[in-house]
Amino acid sequence: MPVVSVFIGILLLFFFIIYLKFDAFISFIIISIFIGIIQGMELNSIVTSIETGIGSILGFLVIILSLGAMLGKLVAESGAAQKITMGLIEAFGIKYTRWAVMLTGFIVGVTMFYSVGFVILVPLVFSVATSTGIPLISIALPMLCALSVTHGYLPPHPAPTALAILFKADMGKTLIYGFIIAIPAIIISGPILTKFLKKVNATPLKEFVSTKKFKDNELPSMSNSLLTSLSPVLIIGFSTVIIEFLDTNSFTYEFFKFLGNPVVALLIAIIISIYTLGINTGKKISDIMKIFSSSLSGITMVLLIIAGAGALKQILIDSGVSDYVAELLQKVSLSPLILGWLIASIVRVSIGSATVAGLTTAGIVLPIVEITGVNPELMVLAVGSGSLMLSHVNDPGFWMFKEYFNLSIKDTLLTWTIMETSVGISGLIGVLLLNLII
């Protein structure tokens, strides 16, 4: 009965979101109640589980996503994203423009939500393609590949951060392992893969070409733009490495553990950015605060979707479904990492959203992480990789790419979908190789 509950529940979740076009948050809550009822939970216990699931995941995540959105918005509004793009192209030269734009996508994507980074960087890609004469798709795909990988693999992005919390993974180690796996995945699925894809004639729609552009004297310096954008990653990464060499009972260990906490690291980055990308560029404090406030509207639905997934996760645990499924899956000869990736891939293909795919998978495989002792950081990355697989017509990112580059559905499948699939497979291979080493 528990397996049937999960199967019916997931099918209904797909039905509500894909066919009825229900809001994902509402769908998660409805399905959570449905599974709780057919599993025989008391009605009031169902409500308690939903509240617990939402509260446990949002308590930490609200701070992370809010601070991350603020930093990403200021990076864009200050011209730092534009400076990084043009500076890297100048440094790499025309011959290596694809690599420069790809690196820009990675740097900006570390702290900026995918949709925000897409909207900000794609018009710059249009400008680069026009000025260099390089085919638009061969420049765009490496950059978007980098944005997609950071979105699926690396904290402080919603899905990997939430997965790290659910699997009780160390955020710093997840970030470091994520970088190790992300870099080759981006190189393989970006500039290398692009050479073998079908050549398509992409032309930007006129309404998407115009964007806010800064004059050279209005831009922050390259060092300022880079260091400020990457400051949370630098702080978390440095602290994670340092504490490996310190006595766990010492004050120094506690200090660097505190410093490397993503909340603290992002807060420090925000304080730094207020001066480096705000006051230092002539902005008033009140203007900077308006930028921060405007950044929060874009994460509301993301938080609600994650909250709904947290509710479903708790229902699966409290009703005993997760333990039962875990016992069954333990009998499967597949590695837990491959299993997590496979389930995430199936959910991704069925439902479209990478974030929903990752978090839905988490509720199913969570007991496996606890029972098998699989590395939780690698499980985060395995599920994250699977959640990026086979993007197609039910994925908003698919349509963003199609419309911005004025492509047919066929050409979008032959470019975007293949790139996303390559990212998912490359990520799994990287996870399995890293699992052999650590």
Domain definitions of the chain by residue range: 2-437
Q: Please, are residues 154 and 160 in contact by the beta-carbon 8 Å criterion?
A: yes
Q: How far apart are CA 397 and CA 159, in angstroms?
A: 15
Averages of pLDDT over runs of 10 residues in the chain (438 residues) are: 77 81 86 90 92 82 80 81 77 81 83 68 71 81 91 83 89 90 93 84 57 73 86 82 86 90 87 92 89 79 78 82 67 84 85 77 83 90 93 75 82 91 95 93
274-285 as b/e: b if 16+ CB within 10 A: bebbbeebebee
Q: What is the pLDDT of residue 188?
A: 94
Q: How far apart are CA 378 and CA 421, in angstroms?
A: 19
Q: How far apart are CA 26 and CA 168, in angstroms?
A: 26
Q: What is the pLDDT of residue 372?
A: 82
Q: What is the pLDDT of residue 119?
A: 65
From 5, 63, 58, 73, select the one nearest 34 (Cα to Cα). 5
Q: What is the pLDDT of residue 208?
A: 45
Q: What is the pLDDT of residue 423?
A: 94
Q: How far apart are CA 112 and CA 119, in angstroms?
A: 11
User: What are the tens digits of pLDDT across the range 21-46?
Assistant: 888 789 889 999 998 998 889 999 99
The pTM of the full predicted model, rounded to 2 decimals, is 0.70
User: What are the tens digits of pLDDT across the range 326-371?
Assistant: 666 667 778 889 999 998 898 888 766 787 788 888 888 888 888 8
The CA radius of gyration of the chain, in Å to the nearest whole number, is: 22
Q: How far apart are CA 81 and CA 162, in angstroms?
A: 26
Q: How far apart are CA 18 and CA 20, in angstroms?
A: 6
Q: What is the pLDDT of residue 248?
A: 83
Q: What is the pLDDT of residue 395?
A: 75
Q: Please, are residues 414 and 200 in contact by the beta-carbon 8 Å criterion?
A: yes
Q: What is the pLDDT of residue 405?
A: 83
In 15-113, alpha helices (H)? 24-38, 43-77, 80-92, 97-111
